[in-house]
Amino acid sequence: MRAKVEGRKIRHLRVRQQIRGTAERPRLSVFRSLNHIHAQLIDDEAGRTLVSVGSLSPEFREKLKAGGNVAAAKVVGELVAQKAKARGIERVVFDRGGYQFHGRVKALADAARAGGLVF
């Protein structure tokens, strides 16, 4: 298990050398654990988190109880897109966080795209 987590961290650092979020086009960062999934819009130039949604947030808990499945990832993607649109953000850079682009990560990305985010 430890090697799997360390490998993800190495992949994430390698990807982060290329991906930078700005105020006009923030980075959509995804973190998933066994039981939850989280997404943030980050302005790397200012070092600020602009929008944050996770499967532990109150908005999410109104819709679903469990946070470690594909349905939960879709809800988190929809919520992050809604919050971003409310702040006037339409274009983002997707950061998969070192995870493979399938399953929950892909479901979150597809839901964010369907919600109006462009990446």
pLDDT tens-digit profile, the chain (119 residues): 688 889 999 999 999 999 999 999 999 999 999 999 999 999 999 999 999 999 999 999 999 999 999 999 999 999 999 999 999 999 999 999 999 999 999 999 999 999 999 99
pLDDT score recorded for residue 4? 86
- In the chain, the largest separation of any two C-alpha atoms, in whole Å, equals 40
In a domain, 87, yes or no: yes
41: CATH? 3.30.420.100
Query: Tokens 């999934």 correspond to what residue?
Result: 37
Q: Is residue 77 part of a domain?
A: yes
* Number of domains making up the chain: 1
74 within a domain of the structure (yes/no) = yes
| Distance of alpha carbon 23 from alpha carbon 63, whole angstroms | 30
pTM of the model: 0.93
In which domain, by residue range, is 50 found? 2-114
Give backbone dihedrals phi and psi of 116, rounded to 5 degrees, phi first. Answer: 115, -5
Would you say residue 119 lies in a domain? Answer: no
